Chain A
């Protein structure tokens, strides 16, 4: 089946913006993505080393109150993202099990880059207390100072390293 076109970026952006606005109004906070890995990690670490986890500056806050860290708005929201992404891809004929890569790179190399990039982003998002969803998009719309600084630096970092990994994409 031939895949449908992507939406006009301004239309997709407007729907995304309205979704974010609704999230502010309903949940009193923005959207996010890294809450799921962080809270899952907190849950697992708490099983292994409760005292260490509770004292940890990065993930201690999620287990301090004795609640299940996964019983959280942002974690449930990511489940919604999976459903939305899946149904979106299916309905547009874009669901394919494959590796997305540029023409000049092997699948093996691409997956190494993907893993490495994931690790770097995991560290960076934990350090910055959020990712492109929680900081740049949500904090940006709320005009939070640190979120705008984060967003500018994401673009700066991306352009700074783009040349080094160009073989992967173009």
Chain B
């Protein structure tokens, strides 16, 4: 089941159409407040002394785009249930150019002609009438003039979005759009102020001595959008290369355990089957084979902690790239098998050199400690801490389990 709550599934057709009135109202109202009820202000876009069309349109596109794709990215909106304009490249390229020509002739586009007509402008009413005529002309032309239907369906690409065409991720593409638009806003403010000296301002527009510092507004708004955007974009999930890991001898580990080193954390990476039939290294906690869970543990311990990992035979000898670098990692040479033979088994008593006899002595003491024979031989060392099943490895630290 999809968790998306948008687009809303409105059962009642009447309620759905009521939302159209409300959203249409907001659409018309914001166009009017932007100055789009005035054909002169719209036309000024093409003589460069009032770039309001560009500024309003791109601000709206940025807001809706970032909002929509952020909600889609969070799983709250399902784009597959929305109607996205299908691409008919030739029809839209030629239609767009023709539309631009009509736009500068009339000074209005279909949506703004509705707003302008509602503001009482007669030229807007005439424009809207013209749009009706043009729509009828096309319906006739597409049927009776050869080749027009081919153009109408020309360059069909179905539902196509630009990030797909460019093979870039949608967040990255949107970030690019936000940055380019932000730069274009700043440029538009400059161009506008240059050409205003030439042509003056459109009536009802803000006076040349502005109260609202729009250039600063453009910069601040763009930066805010980038910031909002950056907060929503998840960090790229780069696979860092694994690092080689150094070993620790089972006997050395055993001594660290006996000494009660507070910085020691032992992670048991044997498979469940491997753990079932045998003991574990005392104080270790079981991670199973969950590397991500272990990465969380590694990230939660304070810097300087020594993390020792072991598996059955000491096969695992690399630090996964996702594990933090502030921690020291070692793997038990030979794994648990070596622990069994080196630590939990008493050594042969025959040694020829002094060094060898010392090693045997040491192994015997340690093995006695870990096999429970300690009490008989030496009362100076305490009993070993029991192996913790999950998450109890180092009780003294806040760092939780595996």
Q: A-side interface residues toward B, CB under 8 Å? A: 3, 5-10, 12-34, 37-38, 40-41, 45, 52, 55-59, 71, 73-74, 76-89, 92, 94-102, 110-111, 113-162, 165-166, 168-170
New A-B contacts (9) at CB < 8 Å, excluding given A15-B29, A59-B139: A9-B59, A19-B26, A22-B26, A58-B135, A77-B21, A83-B28, A121-B127, A141-B60, A153-B100
Using CB atoms, name the residue of chain A closest to B41.
Answer: A6
Of A17, A125, A142, the contact of B85 (CB 8 Å cutoff): A142
With a CB–CB cut-off of 8 A, which chain B residues contact A55? 143
Using CB atoms, name the residue of chain B closest to A90.
Answer: B119
Would you call A45 and B25 a contact (CB within 8 A)?
no
- Least CB distance, A135 to chain B, in whole angstroms: 6
> What are 13 residue pairs bridging A and B, where the CB atoms are less than 8 Å apart in the complex?
A5-B205, A9-B35, A13-B58, A74-B20, A113-B106, A117-B101, A118-B130, A122-B135, A123-B135, A126-B139, A127-B151, A128-B92, A156-B100
With a CB–CB cut-off of 8 A, which chain B residues contact A114? 39, 105-108, 123-124, 126-127, 130
How far is B41's CA from A13's CA once the two chains are assembled, in angstroms? 15
Would you call B104 and A117 a contact (CB within 8 A)?
yes
Using known A-B contacts A34-B131, A85-B115, determine if residue A117 contacts B108 with beta carbons closer than 8 Å.
yes
- Least CB distance, B167 to chain A, in whole angstroms: 13
Would you call B68 and A88 a contact (CB within 8 A)?
no
Would you call B132 and A80 a contact (CB within 8 A)?
no
How far is B68's CA from A113's CA once the two chains are assembled, in angstroms? 38
Query: What is the size, in residues, of chain B's interface with A at 8 Å between Cβ atoms?
Result: 137
Using CB atoms, name the residue of chain A closest to B23.
Answer: A23
Would you call A88 and B121 a contact (CB within 8 A)?
no
Dominant SS among interface residues on chain A: helix
How far is B400's CA from A33's CA once the two chains are assembled, in angstroms? 59
Using known A-B contacts A34-B135, A77-B23, determine if residue A143 contacts B82 with beta carbons closer than 8 Å.
no
- Least CB distance, A65 to chain B, in whole angstroms: 14
With a CB–CB cut-off of 8 A, which chain B residues contact A16? 27, 30-31, 34, 56, 59-60, 63
How far is B31's CA from A129's CA once the two chains are assembled, in angstroms? 22
- Least CB distance, A79 to chain B, in whole angstroms: 6
Give the one of B61, B67, B123 with max A CB within 10 A: B61
Using known A-B contacts A110-B123, A115-B126, determine if residue A5 contacts B206 with beta carbons closer than 8 Å.
yes
Using known A-B contacts A146-B86, A161-B104, determine if residue A119 contacts B221 with beta carbons closer than 8 Å.
no
How far is B139's CA from A24's CA once the two chains are assembled, in angstroms? 29
Of A5, A13, A126, the contact of B60 (CB 8 Å cutoff): A13
How far is B131's CA from A41's CA once the two chains are assembled, in angstroms? 11
With a CB–CB cut-off of 8 A, which chain A residues contact B185? 10
- Least CB distance, A73 to chain B, in whole angstroms: 5
Would you call B134 and A119 a contact (CB within 8 A)?
yes
Using CB atoms, name the residue of chain A closest to B33.
Answer: A7
Would you call B25 and A81 a contact (CB within 8 A)?
yes
Within 8 A of A (CB), among B1-47: 6-8, 10, 13, 16-17, 19-35, 37-41, 43-47
